[in-house]
Structure 1
Amino acid sequence: MRLIDFILNVLWLVLCGFWMALGYVVGGLIACITIIGIPFGVAAFRIAGFVLWPFGRTAVRRPDAGAPSTVGNVVWFVFAGLWLAIGHIVTSIPLFCSIIGIPFGWANLKLIPISIMPLGAEVVPTDQKFAAWR
Protein backbone atom coordinates (compact mmCIF):
# COMPACT_ATOMS: atom_id res chain seq x y z
CA MET A 1 0.00 0.00 0.00
CA ARG A 2 1.29 3.41 -0.92
CA LEU A 3 1.79 6.07 1.73
CA ILE A 4 -0.75 8.37 0.08
CA ASP A 5 -3.37 5.61 0.21
CA PHE A 6 -2.67 5.12 3.90
CA ILE A 7 -3.01 8.85 4.64
CA LEU A 8 -6.21 9.12 2.60
CA ASN A 9 -7.66 6.04 4.33
CA VAL A 10 -6.91 7.43 7.80
CA LEU A 11 -8.53 10.77 6.92
CA TRP A 12 -11.47 8.92 5.34
CA LEU A 13 -11.89 6.81 8.47
CA VAL A 14 -12.09 9.93 10.65
CA LEU A 15 -14.36 11.96 8.36
CA CYS A 16 -17.01 9.41 7.41
CA GLY A 17 -15.67 5.88 6.87
CA PHE A 18 -16.32 4.62 10.39
CA TRP A 19 -19.97 5.69 10.40
CA MET A 20 -20.71 4.35 6.93
CA ALA A 21 -19.04 1.03 7.76
CA LEU A 22 -21.05 0.86 10.98
CA GLY A 23 -24.24 1.24 8.92
CA TYR A 24 -23.22 -1.69 6.73
CA VAL A 25 -22.35 -3.84 9.76
CA VAL A 26 -25.73 -3.13 11.38
CA GLY A 27 -27.47 -3.96 8.11
CA GLY A 28 -25.43 -7.16 7.81
CA LEU A 29 -26.34 -8.22 11.34
CA ILE A 30 -30.02 -7.61 10.66
CA ALA A 31 -29.80 -9.58 7.40
CA CYS A 32 -28.06 -12.52 9.14
CA ILE A 33 -30.98 -13.01 11.53
CA THR A 34 -32.72 -15.17 8.95
CA ILE A 35 -31.17 -18.00 6.96
CA ILE A 36 -32.36 -16.46 3.68
CA GLY A 37 -30.63 -13.18 4.56
CA ILE A 38 -27.17 -14.63 5.24
CA PRO A 39 -25.82 -14.00 1.69
CA PHE A 40 -26.98 -10.39 2.01
CA GLY A 41 -25.32 -10.12 5.42
CA VAL A 42 -22.05 -11.47 4.03
CA ALA A 43 -22.25 -8.92 1.19
CA ALA A 44 -22.88 -6.13 3.71
CA PHE A 45 -19.84 -7.18 5.77
CA ARG A 46 -17.69 -7.26 2.61
CA ILE A 47 -18.82 -3.75 1.69
CA ALA A 48 -18.25 -2.58 5.28
CA GLY A 49 -14.59 -3.52 4.99
CA PHE A 50 -14.37 -1.73 1.65
CA VAL A 51 -16.12 1.38 2.99
CA LEU A 52 -13.87 1.38 6.04
CA TRP A 53 -10.63 1.41 3.99
CA PRO A 54 -11.49 2.23 0.32
CA PHE A 55 -8.37 3.90 -1.08
CA GLY A 56 -6.10 1.51 -2.94
CA ARG A 57 -8.94 -0.95 -3.59
CA THR A 58 -11.78 -1.18 -6.08
CA ALA A 59 -14.89 -3.27 -6.70
CA VAL A 60 -15.13 -5.41 -9.83
CA ARG A 61 -17.93 -7.54 -11.24
CA ARG A 62 -17.29 -11.27 -11.21
CA PRO A 63 -17.92 -12.71 -14.69
CA ASP A 64 -19.16 -15.99 -13.23
CA ALA A 65 -21.97 -14.30 -11.27
CA GLY A 66 -25.23 -15.38 -12.84
CA ALA A 67 -28.95 -14.89 -12.53
CA PRO A 68 -29.15 -15.60 -8.77
CA SER A 69 -26.90 -12.62 -8.05
CA THR A 70 -29.06 -10.43 -10.31
CA VAL A 71 -32.22 -11.48 -8.48
CA GLY A 72 -30.44 -10.98 -5.16
CA ASN A 73 -29.34 -7.50 -6.21
CA VAL A 74 -32.95 -6.56 -6.99
CA VAL A 75 -34.03 -7.73 -3.52
CA TRP A 76 -31.03 -5.94 -1.98
CA PHE A 77 -31.90 -2.70 -3.80
CA VAL A 78 -35.47 -2.72 -2.50
CA PHE A 79 -34.62 -3.46 1.14
CA ALA A 80 -31.16 -1.93 1.67
CA GLY A 81 -29.40 -0.64 -1.44
CA LEU A 82 -31.52 2.45 -1.98
CA TRP A 83 -31.13 3.54 1.64
CA LEU A 84 -27.39 2.92 1.67
CA ALA A 85 -26.99 4.90 -1.56
CA ILE A 86 -28.94 7.77 0.00
CA GLY A 87 -26.61 7.52 3.00
CA HIS A 88 -23.60 7.89 0.70
CA ILE A 89 -25.17 10.93 -0.96
CA VAL A 90 -26.06 12.55 2.36
CA THR A 91 -22.58 12.02 3.83
CA SER A 92 -20.90 13.31 0.67
CA ILE A 93 -22.68 16.69 0.82
CA PRO A 94 -20.85 18.02 3.92
CA LEU A 95 -17.59 16.60 2.57
CA PHE A 96 -17.96 18.71 -0.56
CA CYS A 97 -18.30 21.83 1.62
CA SER A 98 -14.61 21.83 2.54
CA ILE A 99 -11.53 21.83 0.35
CA ILE A 100 -9.97 18.80 2.04
CA GLY A 101 -13.26 16.89 1.87
CA ILE A 102 -13.81 17.13 -1.90
CA PRO A 103 -11.81 13.98 -2.79
CA PHE A 104 -13.61 12.14 0.00
CA GLY A 105 -16.97 13.32 -1.29
CA TRP A 106 -16.13 11.92 -4.73
CA ALA A 107 -14.92 8.66 -3.21
CA ASN A 108 -18.16 8.45 -1.26
CA LEU A 109 -20.21 8.87 -4.45
CA LYS A 110 -18.10 6.25 -6.23
CA LEU A 111 -19.10 3.72 -3.55
CA ILE A 112 -22.77 3.96 -4.54
CA PRO A 113 -22.71 1.29 -7.30
CA ILE A 114 -21.46 -1.44 -4.95
CA SER A 115 -23.95 -0.33 -2.30
CA ILE A 116 -26.73 -0.85 -4.85
CA MET A 117 -25.44 -4.09 -6.43
CA PRO A 118 -23.14 -5.95 -3.99
CA LEU A 119 -23.84 -9.51 -5.08
CA GLY A 120 -21.61 -10.72 -7.89
CA ALA A 121 -18.89 -8.20 -7.03
CA GLU A 122 -15.59 -8.51 -5.24
CA VAL A 123 -13.12 -6.00 -3.80
CA VAL A 124 -9.59 -6.11 -5.23
CA PRO A 125 -6.42 -4.01 -4.80
CA THR A 126 -5.83 -1.27 -7.34
CA ASP A 127 -3.39 1.48 -8.23
CA GLN A 128 -6.19 4.04 -8.62
CA LYS A 129 -6.24 6.94 -6.17
CA PHE A 130 -9.96 6.70 -5.43
CA ALA A 131 -12.35 3.84 -4.84
CA ALA A 132 -14.13 3.15 -8.11
CA TRP A 133 -16.41 0.63 -9.75
CA ARG A 134 -14.81 -1.21 -12.69
Structure 2
Amino acid sequence: MTRSILIAAALLLDGNGRTLLVRKRGTAFFMQPGGKIEPGEHPIQALARELNEELGIEIAPAQAAYLGTYTAPAANEPGFEVRCELFEVTVQTPVKPAAEIEEAVWVDLQQAQSLNLAPLTRDSVLPRLFKPA
Protein backbone atom coordinates (compact mmCIF):
# COMPACT_ATOMS: atom_id res chain seq x y z
CA MET A 1 0.00 0.00 0.00
CA THR A 2 1.40 3.39 -1.06
CA ARG A 3 1.47 6.16 1.50
CA SER A 4 0.16 9.53 0.34
CA ILE A 5 1.17 13.11 1.01
CA LEU A 6 -1.66 15.61 0.49
CA ILE A 7 -0.44 18.88 -1.00
CA ALA A 8 -1.77 22.06 -2.59
CA ALA A 9 0.29 23.41 -5.48
CA ALA A 10 0.16 26.23 -8.00
CA LEU A 11 0.55 26.29 -11.72
CA LEU A 12 1.95 29.78 -11.21
CA LEU A 13 1.96 31.87 -14.40
CA ASP A 14 3.52 35.24 -15.18
CA GLY A 15 1.29 36.33 -18.06
CA ASN A 16 4.09 35.75 -20.61
CA GLY A 17 3.58 32.03 -21.11
CA ARG A 18 6.04 31.03 -18.40
CA THR A 19 5.51 29.07 -15.20
CA LEU A 20 7.44 29.20 -11.95
CA LEU A 21 9.23 26.08 -10.78
CA VAL A 22 10.98 25.75 -7.44
CA ARG A 23 13.67 23.50 -6.00
CA LYS A 24 13.77 22.86 -2.28
CA ARG A 25 17.05 23.14 -0.39
CA GLY A 26 19.07 19.92 -0.53
CA THR A 27 17.02 18.36 -3.37
CA ALA A 28 17.53 17.93 -7.10
CA PHE A 29 13.98 18.16 -8.48
CA PHE A 30 12.11 21.24 -9.72
CA MET A 31 8.38 21.31 -9.04
CA GLN A 32 5.35 23.54 -8.62
CA PRO A 33 5.35 25.84 -5.60
CA GLY A 34 3.09 24.76 -2.78
CA GLY A 35 3.19 22.35 0.12
CA LYS A 36 1.46 20.06 2.54
CA ILE A 37 -2.12 20.70 3.60
CA GLU A 38 -2.41 20.83 7.39
CA PRO A 39 -5.24 18.90 9.13
CA GLY A 40 -8.48 20.89 8.90
CA GLU A 41 -7.00 23.31 6.35
CA HIS A 42 -8.76 23.93 3.02
CA PRO A 43 -6.44 23.39 0.00
CA ILE A 44 -6.66 27.02 -1.18
CA GLN A 45 -5.77 28.22 2.33
CA ALA A 46 -2.76 25.89 2.35
CA LEU A 47 -1.69 27.18 -1.05
CA ALA A 48 -1.98 30.83 -0.02
CA ARG A 49 0.02 30.12 3.17
CA GLU A 50 2.74 28.20 1.31
CA LEU A 51 3.11 30.82 -1.46
CA ASN A 52 3.51 33.52 1.17
CA GLU A 53 5.99 31.52 3.28
CA GLU A 54 8.08 30.21 0.38
CA LEU A 55 7.97 33.03 -2.18
CA GLY A 56 6.61 36.16 -0.50
CA ILE A 57 3.51 36.10 -2.73
CA GLU A 58 0.14 37.05 -1.29
CA ILE A 59 -2.91 35.75 -3.12
CA ALA A 60 -6.63 35.98 -2.54
CA PRO A 61 -8.53 32.69 -2.90
CA ALA A 62 -10.53 34.21 -5.78
CA GLN A 63 -7.27 34.55 -7.79
CA ALA A 64 -6.83 30.78 -7.91
CA ALA A 65 -8.67 28.61 -10.43
CA TYR A 66 -9.02 24.99 -9.31
CA LEU A 67 -7.62 22.58 -11.92
CA GLY A 68 -8.23 19.23 -10.22
CA THR A 69 -6.53 16.49 -8.24
CA TYR A 70 -3.38 14.81 -9.59
CA THR A 71 -1.23 12.01 -8.21
CA ALA A 72 2.36 10.95 -8.88
CA PRO A 73 5.29 9.34 -7.10
CA ALA A 74 6.80 11.76 -4.59
CA ALA A 75 10.05 13.24 -5.88
CA ASN A 76 11.81 13.56 -2.52
CA GLU A 77 10.11 10.91 -0.32
CA PRO A 78 10.74 7.34 -1.56
CA GLY A 79 7.75 5.04 -1.10
CA PHE A 80 5.24 7.90 -1.05
CA GLU A 81 2.94 9.41 -3.64
CA VAL A 82 1.77 12.99 -3.72
CA ARG A 83 -1.92 13.74 -4.07
CA CYS A 84 -2.01 17.29 -5.34
CA GLU A 85 -4.87 19.78 -5.34
CA LEU A 86 -3.71 21.96 -8.24
CA PHE A 87 -4.66 25.61 -8.77
CA GLU A 88 -3.77 28.03 -11.57
CA VAL A 89 -2.63 31.46 -10.38
CA THR A 90 -1.32 34.37 -12.47
CA VAL A 91 0.92 36.86 -10.69
CA GLN A 92 2.84 39.95 -11.72
CA THR A 93 4.78 40.42 -8.47
CA PRO A 94 8.43 39.44 -8.01
CA VAL A 95 9.13 36.23 -6.11
CA LYS A 96 11.67 35.92 -3.31
CA PRO A 97 12.71 32.34 -2.46
CA ALA A 98 12.47 31.83 1.31
CA ALA A 99 11.91 29.05 3.87
CA GLU A 100 13.07 25.77 2.29
CA ILE A 101 13.14 27.07 -1.30
CA GLU A 102 16.69 27.25 -2.64
CA GLU A 103 15.89 28.16 -6.23
CA ALA A 104 12.91 29.57 -8.14
CA VAL A 105 12.93 29.91 -11.94
CA TRP A 106 10.43 31.18 -14.51
CA VAL A 107 10.50 28.79 -17.47
CA ASP A 108 8.90 28.17 -20.83
CA LEU A 109 8.50 24.64 -22.20
CA GLN A 110 11.98 24.43 -23.71
CA GLN A 111 13.66 25.66 -20.53
CA ALA A 112 11.56 23.32 -18.37
CA GLN A 113 12.60 20.30 -20.41
CA SER A 114 16.25 20.96 -19.57
CA LEU A 115 15.58 20.71 -15.80
CA ASN A 116 15.39 17.70 -13.49
CA LEU A 117 11.61 17.67 -12.98
CA ALA A 118 9.53 16.05 -10.26
CA PRO A 119 7.23 13.32 -11.65
CA LEU A 120 4.04 15.34 -10.97
CA THR A 121 5.43 18.38 -12.80
CA ARG A 122 6.84 16.35 -15.69
CA ASP A 123 3.91 13.98 -16.24
CA SER A 124 0.81 15.98 -15.27
CA VAL A 125 1.31 19.71 -14.80
CA LEU A 126 3.55 20.80 -17.68
CA PRO A 127 1.67 18.72 -20.29
CA ARG A 128 -1.50 20.50 -19.18
CA LEU A 129 0.11 23.92 -19.62
CA PHE A 130 2.07 23.28 -22.79
CA LYS A 131 -0.43 21.10 -24.69
CA PRO A 132 -0.11 21.28 -28.48
CA ALA A 133 -2.34 23.83 -30.20
TM more than 0.5: no
More strand by share: 2
Q: TM-score, normalised by structure 1?
A: 0.24
Q: Which has the larger radius of gyration?
A: 1
Q: TM-score, normalised by structure 2?
A: 0.24
